[in-house]
Structure 1
């Protein structure tokens, strides 16, 4: 059931969208989150390269990285030199585009090489089904299949209010993701822990001024929208200390 507490999380996120009080700087965005423009992420000369400004080590933006052992919503080594935080809503079409296109390439090229760690944050902005999807993803993670749920949920775009993330819908996705104990899944989905986790993630996004989904922080550097994979490659390569030695 969609509780008042869960409603308050989404209301806070929507308020952040309306107010637009961004504290992130140096944004890479095409304006609509599509990432289709050829100039997305281009440097001052239109080269297509990101111009990353140094972020002081003491900047609190670095504290958002959790590096928690056995975090079911994280992918990659805890000590990877580059950490990308992903804020996403499972009803967001642009988030789905990233999940189906860019995400697998980054995993193959950087996560498997030990260079990149991806930490997912639930950022539900499209109402009750977004909240249920976020809680369901967390519940799947409790059985070690968050990323399988991520893939199943984003396999096709879900329009707002489509019913894809109804009570029956999330159970079907859990089964497709390989959740072993569906009864436990249903209990975890409705648990206080699920709500607290989603609220923690959503509040984090609101606090730093995330306005749209998907949004990313790569070692503290913001990238907004479903950008081309080259935008992510450029940022990761610049931020990987080992790349300077090659």
Structure 2
């Protein structure tokens, strides 16, 4: 167990959308937060500034999540600044929508690299570094249940993340580290809204019994639960979708 009273979280994809909401939420719980970004340093700096302005502690780290050397260096930087890592949340991902019959296979490879290899690399580093009492949270999607047309390749990549997460939870037996996956439903983020017309967004917002889209803050609350008090939830997929599936 970590003797340092300040827990440390690394959030990949923390520069915007769900990642930023997660970083800010964990900081509000008193964690020191490393905000990871792939290419948008300005957005990551904004997240750190927001956390700092609210009285929290944060830093930025960068790197391609699918590059094991870059992510090893990112984890090194967090450990050097904050003396360790207790929570790893992997929100980074990419999505290309297309029917399976017409999907450009280059897009499939790109999603595979980020969503599967990237999640694997981050999970591998987390398995080596997270301290006892810690948590690893990966991200899937409720589309693995909803089976929306055009989401085939994306859902397949996230199904792989779920399988990997379940195995890792069991591989970390005896270390007091939980490993879970959050599977959001339709959530009002730029990634979700891109390329959708107003009627599609309206239809999806009414699909859940709560009759609205999720917000990044809704998802961040789920992550904070898994990263904090939920010590008896392990090796699970939590569907944060308002009851849509």
TM norm. shorter chain > 0.5: no
TM-score, with normalisation over the residues of structure 2? Answer: 0.29
TM-score, with normalisation over the residues of structure 1? Answer: 0.29
